[in-house]
Amino acid sequence: MAKINMFLYFLIIFMMIIPLFSLAPTYVDHICSNTTRFTTNSQYQTNLDTVFRYLSANTSNPFGFHAAQAGNGTQDFVYGHFLCRGDQVPSSCHECVTTATTTDLPKTYCPNRKDAIIWYDECMVRYSNESFFGVLDTQIVTNRANVQNVTGNVSQYMDIMGTMMNNIAIRAINGGPYKKYATGYARFSSLVGVYGLQQCTPDLSASYCDQCLLNGMELLPVSKGGTLLFSSCYVRFEAYPFFNDAANLTLSPPPPSLPSSTSSSNGKRNTSAKLIADILAAVVILLLAIVIILYIIIAKSKKEHVPVDGTGENFTTIDSLQYDLEILKSATNNFGIENKLGEGGFGSVYKGILPNGEVVAVKRLSRSSGQGANEFKNELLLLAKLQHRNLARLLGFCLSGEEKLLVYEFAPNKSLDNLLFDPITQDQINWRVRYNIIQGIARGMLYLHQDSRLRIIHRDLKASNILLDANMNPKISDFGMARIFGGDQTQSSTSRVVGTLLGSYGKKVSL
C-alpha cells in the first residue's frame, strides 16, 4: 500500500508540473484588415519583420509591454506593440509574442496584411501602417460569456461582481505609466467567489484607460463569467481563479474525514478514504509550494525592476515615484516656451511626453520649500497615495539640486476657467456637461474632506485649479501644496495659506 501511495504522489506531482512547462499560448481571436495588403518581399514586409524582431527581443521587459516602429518614410512605416497579461512570467510572455510574430500573424491568420491584431489568453500583439500609440481604440475583438448558470441569486452575484470590477478599474487606472493592471476577488457565498482582472495598454492616458475599462464593464454579460477584449484594454471576470496572482488566491478547506468502521467491508472503505486523503494532502502541499514559489518570484521581480524614470504600480516607497531630471528635460524640450501650459502660484506647468509615449504635465516649482529633502519626499508620498477619479493624479517628482518638479497626469481640455471665460469655448458646454463638472468637483472635495486617510481642506478652490480630462471629467489640482511650501505661495497673486491638512480625527495640524 505504501508503494501505491508513493506512486500516486509522484504521478500527481508529474501531472501538476507538466502545465508549468507547457508555454504554448491559448489563441482567442484576431482581426485583419481586408482592404490594406502588402506584396511579398516588399519594403513594408522588411519593416514589419524588423518590428517583429524588436518585439520578440523585448519580452523580458518587467512591465510586459513594448512598442516598436520601423521605416524611413510615411508610406511603408510600420508601428507595432505587444501587451502581456499582467500576471504572466517573462517565459510565457516570450512564447506568446514569438508565436504571434513568427507564425500566427504572418503565416496563419493575417498573411500580407498591413493592419492586424491577435489576442491570446496570455498576450496581445498588434501592428499597423498608421500610428496607434496612445490612441484609444474600443473596437471589440471578442465578447464571450461563461455559459454555466449562477447558483443562487443572479442579481446579487452581478452586484457583487460590479462592485469588485469598479474597484479593480480604479487600481488599474492609477497603476502608473508602466503597468495599468489590477486583479481582485470577492466572496459570493461560502463556496463561490468572483475573480476579476482588468488591464490597459500602458501607452494610454489614465482618462483613456478609464473610458476603455468603463466600456468593457458596461458590456459584460449577465452570466457566471465573461471576457471583453478591446484593442486597448482587457476586462474579464470568472467564478474561478483564472490568473496567477497568488496574493488573491485562497485555498478551500479539505473535506471532512469519513467515519471509521470495524467490519471488513468498511475496512476497505477506510483504506480508500485514507488513499483519497493522502492524494488530497499531496495536492494541497504541492499547490502551496507553487503559490510560495510564484510569490517569491513576483516579489523579487518587483524589487529588482523598480523604474528610475517613472512610477511603477507599487509606490509604497518614495524611490518608485522619482523621475530622472534628464528624462523630464527631454520630455518637455528642456522646459521650452512652446510646451508651457500656464503659470500659477506655485510655479510654471509644461506639457511633456515620456519615452513610453505617455503625455504628462510637469510643474516646475518656483522656489525651494522650507523643508529638507526627506521631508519634501515624505509629503509627496502622502499626496501620491490620495487616489480619486476627481483629483489630479500625482505620478511622481524630481528632486535634483535646486530643481523641484512634480509630474501629474495630463488634462487635454486645460482648466475650467479657460473653458468658462473663453468667448469661443464658453458656448460649447451645455448644462449637462456643467452639471457633471459640478458633481465631480463635489465628489473630489468630499473625498479630500472626509473619505481620504489624510483629510485635506483645499482653501484655494477656484476655476483655474479645476482641470478637465479628455471626457470633460473635472480633476482638482494644487491640493496639499501648503505642506510643501510651508503654508505660503510664491507669486504675488496671493499669499494666503491653502491646503490645510487635518489629522485622521479632523484635528487641524499646524502648517
- Structural domain boundaries in the chain: 2-133, 318-502
pLDDT for the residue 321: 79
How many CB atoms lie under 10 A from the CB of residue 119?
Answer: 25
Q: What are the residues whose beta carbons fall under 8 Å from the beta carbon of 289, sequence distance 6 or more?
A: none
* Homologous superfamily (CATH) for 2-133: Gnk2 domain, C-X8-C-X2-C motif (3.30.430.20)
| Least confident interval from 34-43, 49-58, 488-497 | 488-497
Cα–Cα distance measured from residue 16 to residue 290, given in angstroms and rounded to the nearest whole number: 10
pLDDT for the residue 287: 87
Q: What is the mean pLDDT of the chain?
A: 78
- Of 98-112, 351-365, 419-433, 438-452, where does the model show the most confidence? 98-112
Pick from 129, 125, 157, 150: which is nearest to 229 by CA?
125
Cα–Cα distance measured from residue 137 to residue 80, given in angstroms and rounded to the nearest whole number: 14
Q: Is 460 a catalytic residue?
A: yes
CB-based contact 279:12 (threshold 8 Å): yes
pLDDT for the residue 273: 66
Using one digit for the tens of pLDDT, what is the confidence trace for 120-172?
Answer: 999 999 999 989 999 998 776 778 888 777 777 888 989 999 999 999 999 99
CB-based contact 237:216 (threshold 8 Å): no
Higher model confidence: residue 54 or residue 12? Answer: 54
CA dihedral 323, 327, 333, 336 (to 10 degrees): 30
Please check whether the domain covering 318-502 is classified as CATH 3.40.50.800: no
Residue 124 β-bridge partners: 83, 119
Angle between helices 264-304 and 2-21 (to 10 degrees): 30
Give 74's pLDDT tier (boundaries 50, 70, 90): low
Give 385's pLDDT tier (boundaries 50, 70, 90): confident
**Per-residue pLDDT averaged across 20-33, rounded?**
77
Using one digit for the tens of pLDDT, what is the confidence trace for 231-271?
Answer: 999 999 998 888 886 554 433 333 344 344 344 445 555 55
Q: Does pTM surpass 0.75? A: no
Cα–Cα distance measured from residue 156 to residue 116, given in angstroms and rounded to the nearest whole number: 39
Q: What percent of the chain has pLDDT over 70?
A: 76
The three three-digit cell numbers of residue 22, written as one number: 507547457
Which of 460, 469, 478, 488 is labelled catalytic?
A: 460
Res 320 pLDDT > 90: no
- Of 104-113, 397-406, 420-429, where does the model show the most confidence? 104-113
**Per-residue pLDDT averaged across 401-405, rounded?**
83
Give 192's pLDDT tier (boundaries 50, 70, 90): confident
